[in-house]
A = this chain, B = another copy of it.
């Protein structure tokens, strides 16, 4: 059941697609207070109550004890105390022996969530602006509430199948030759590859929709050649447009009034990579359409994939902010400053970036606002989602024959319908492997199924064992991308002496793609989750509920990555009997069985674990493939633990149809025991089942 409660005059955020009639009475569970515009919802927590949700944030899967904030920000420091990152996903799930419910705050402005941080036994949730719909969701399980929420907010984005291949990225790839070299070096060594991301340096002076004609004289030929080699080129697109009257995109946007404006009617100018830039008014549908038109030259050049960045929107400084910073600095100027002034001086220029003050100085001509302009800060958290909507609409319109790869840094509920997200500028830290586990769980609750963190870490220097272990988690994430920042250690697999171990891990990924793609598409088409905390599948199991470093993956599997250096194994909690696969490569692995309970599994640096629930079997591609299109699902091998005859259902399609139909794509594989061996067949053809364990 979904109940809607109205506070103030809600904005149309586009998050909700199913109308729900507003309730009159008081919202259940919470006590509500209002002071000025600010509204606070409070509730007392049961000692055993767990809180899930909030999507892309730092911290554990269980949010109890955290202080978090919805305020989209270009925030590269993903430390434990960071209250907000790039996205706002205001869904919370409360579960205790006494109650189970979800609540969604459809607020495009700033919110805070004190979830037992100040006082262990109290949650206090605050909307600064106080204009929003609040939806209370009840159902029989956490999973059911998330399904209900997806019903409310719409079906998840579906990536094309090739986007489940390995993608290599680097801030610094600029030229035709850079891209060709990456493809060549992978192919030369048999390291699988399906995509190459170009970061900002491919552009002409960081101008959206351009490319550097000196470094990339013939983009159509480059994309065609790479596609011949089964590699897709994936350019970045930034939100802001360089203030350059010579540039047709800027000139037209300016002339037609499609940029966000200050109160005085001038375009708001903030500096990002191209220097002084204007912000397209993505909250306005005409501006979105206009922005979408600009993609055509890139689509014509053969591009079929984009990643949207800097769309919180990030601001390095504004005109006002820079002037103000200098005024402050000049005031603090002294040969012998007070210590406090010295610290202020250190903060002056740091504070220019993403200054909350700047977001109060421009306005949107937002759809549905009755012709009134809306001050940006009140709807700040929508900006990135609406940029992604502009892109998604353009791709659908100008290239309707197929699904496209699209993922964004900033997002809001609703954007899960248009594209995926990556988890932003993480670091080459071991703890960020575990952070990815936590984020995958919470993002899936909110419908963001296509996701993955920068493998190896974006900022700071990576290290060979760290990248190897991180790839072992990346095997399971729909977006499997190695990305790193300029001025950090080179991070392509082939840069490392242990590259063969890394390549072997990628063979596991490619063997699993038929299953991964199938489970992903099923989750998307059924409003389900690809990754789930153990608490979702085993709510009566107290140990499962408190497990924070494992996830359920698909209907049949559990994953438990190693996320500490120099480990030779890890502790795993098995909420039921499971087959344990220890992979070194797609060809080289051990299969054993483990009983329910706390277990220790040995995993050397080049070994990764997959657990398959007892009674379940999953298919792997048998033949090695260096790109997704080469995966041959006619020859499959089964892995698992068979108790009695069963069937595995694999979803398959052409990999790009824009209107996938679940029923049309399902293919059944029958599995049965014959004595001590398992046998299997699909459509009358035998399927290899030598690695299926039989019986107890």
Chain B residue nearest to A604 (CB atoms) is B47
In contact, B119 and A65 (Cβ under 8 angstroms): no
Instruction: State the CA gap A629–B271 with chains docked (Å).
Output: 63
Instruction: State the CA gap A542–B603 with chains docked (Å).
Output: 13
In contact, B120 and A497 (Cβ under 8 angstroms): yes
Instruction: State the CA gap A87–B369 with chains docked (Å).
Output: 60
Chain B residue nearest to A82 (CB atoms) is B460
Residue A143 is within 8 A (CB to CB) of chain B in the complex: no
Residue A312 is within 8 A (CB to CB) of chain B in the complex: no
Stretch at the interface among A157-165, A167-175, A345-353, A682-690: A345-353
Partner of A117, one of B64, B463, B497, B571: B463
In contact, B119 and A497 (Cβ under 8 angstroms): yes
Query: How far does the Cβ of A523 sit from chain B's closest Cβ, in whole Å?
Result: 26
Chain B residue nearest to A319 (CB atoms) is B335
User: Which residues of chain A from 45 to 91 have any CB-CB distance to chain B below 8 Å in the complex?
Assistant: 50, 59-60, 62, 64-67, 79-81
Stretch at the interface among A12-20, A224-232, A336-344, A616-624: A336-344
In contact, B339 and A350 (Cβ under 8 angstroms): no
Residue A30 is within 8 A (CB to CB) of chain B in the complex: no
Partner of A81, one of B275, B460, B498, B571: B460
- Digit string of A425-443 for contact with B (CB within 8 Å is 1, else 0)? 0011111000000000000
In contact, B60 and A565 (Cβ under 8 angstroms): yes
In contact, B81 and A429 (Cβ under 8 angstroms): yes
In contact, B50 and A566 (Cβ under 8 angstroms): yes
Known contacts A50-B566, A80-B431, A546-B567, A273 near B339 by CB under 8 Å: yes
- Digit string of A266-290 for contact with B (CB within 8 Å is 1, else 0)? 0000011111100000000000000
Query: How far does the Cβ of A158 sit from chain B's closest Cβ, in whole Å?
Result: 34
Copies in the complex: 2
In contact, A546 and B571 (Cβ under 8 angstroms): no
User: Which residues of chain A from 653 to 668 have any CB-CB distance to chain B below 8 Å in the complex?
Assistant: none
The interface residues of chain B lying within 8 Å CB-to-CB of A546 are 566-569
Instruction: State the CA gap A626–B469 with chains docked (Å).
Output: 48
Residue A679 is within 8 A (CB to CB) of chain B in the complex: no
Partner of A568, one of B80, B542, B569: B542
Query: How far does the Cβ of A47 sit from chain B's closest Cβ, in whole Å?
Result: 9
Partner of A566, one of B119, B317, B548, B569: B548
A interface bracket (residues with beta carbon within 8 Å of B): 35 or more
Known contacts A79-B79, A463-B117, A566 near B64 by CB under 8 Å: yes
Chain B residue nearest to A468 (CB atoms) is B120
The interface residues of chain B lying within 8 Å CB-to-CB of A339 are 271-275, 316
The interface residues of chain B lying within 8 Å CB-to-CB of A597 are 600
The interface residues of chain B lying within 8 Å CB-to-CB of A463 are 65, 67, 117
Residue A329 is within 8 A (CB to CB) of chain B in the complex: yes
Query: How far does the Cβ of A534 sit from chain B's closest Cβ, in whole Å?
Result: 13
Known contacts A464-B120, A497-B119, A598-B598, A62 near B566 by CB under 8 Å: yes
Instruction: State the CA gap A538–B558 with chains docked (Å).
Output: 33
Chain B residue nearest to A461 (CB atoms) is B81
Known contacts A349-B345, A464-B120, A427 near B271 by CB under 8 Å: no
Instruction: State the CA gap A119–B64 with chains docked (Å).
Output: 41
In contact, B60 and A566 (Cβ under 8 angstroms): yes
Residue A589 is within 8 A (CB to CB) of chain B in the complex: no
Partner of A598, one of B62, B65, B119, B599: B599
The interface residues of chain B lying within 8 Å CB-to-CB of A498 are 120
The interface residues of chain B lying within 8 Å CB-to-CB of A346 are 349-350, 352-353
Residue A543 is within 8 A (CB to CB) of chain B in the complex: yes
Residue A333 is within 8 A (CB to CB) of chain B in the complex: yes
Candidate in A275, A338, A565 with the most chain B CB atoms within 10 angstroms:
A565
Instruction: State the CA gap A626–B400 with chains docked (Å).
Output: 76
Chain B residue nearest to A457 (CB atoms) is B81
The interface residues of chain B lying within 8 Å CB-to-CB of A271 are 336-337, 339, 342
Residue A208 is within 8 A (CB to CB) of chain B in the complex: no
Residue A121 is within 8 A (CB to CB) of chain B in the complex: yes
Known contacts A65-B463, A81-B429, A345-B349, A336 near B598 by CB under 8 Å: no
Residue A309 is within 8 A (CB to CB) of chain B in the complex: no
The interface residues of chain B lying within 8 Å CB-to-CB of A121 are 497
In contact, B571 and A571 (Cβ under 8 angstroms): yes
Which A residues contact B (CB, under 8 angstroms)? 50, 59-60, 62, 64-67, 79-81, 117, 119-121, 271-276, 316-317, 319, 322-323, 326, 329, 333, 335-339, 342-343, 345-346, 348-350, 352-353, 427-431, 460-461, 463-466, 497-498, 542-543, 546, 548, 564-569, 571, 573, 597-600
**Contact sample, A vs B, 15 pairs, CB 8 Å cutoff:** A59-B565, A62-B565, A67-B463, A79-B427, A271-B337, A272-B339, A273-B339, A316-B339, A317-B342, A319-B335, A323-B335, A345-B349, A346-B349, A548-B564, A548-B566
Given contacts A323-B335, A346-B352, A548-B564, 12 further A-B contacts (CB under 8 A): A66-B565, A79-B79, A81-B429, A81-B460, A271-B336, A275-B339, A316-B342, A329-B329, A346-B353, A543-B569, A548-B566, A573-B600
Enumerate the 10 nearest inter-chain pairs by beta-carbon distance, A residue then B residue, closest first: A571-B571, A598-B600, A80-B429, A81-B460, A346-B349, A62-B566, A345-B349, A546-B568, A120-B464, A65-B565
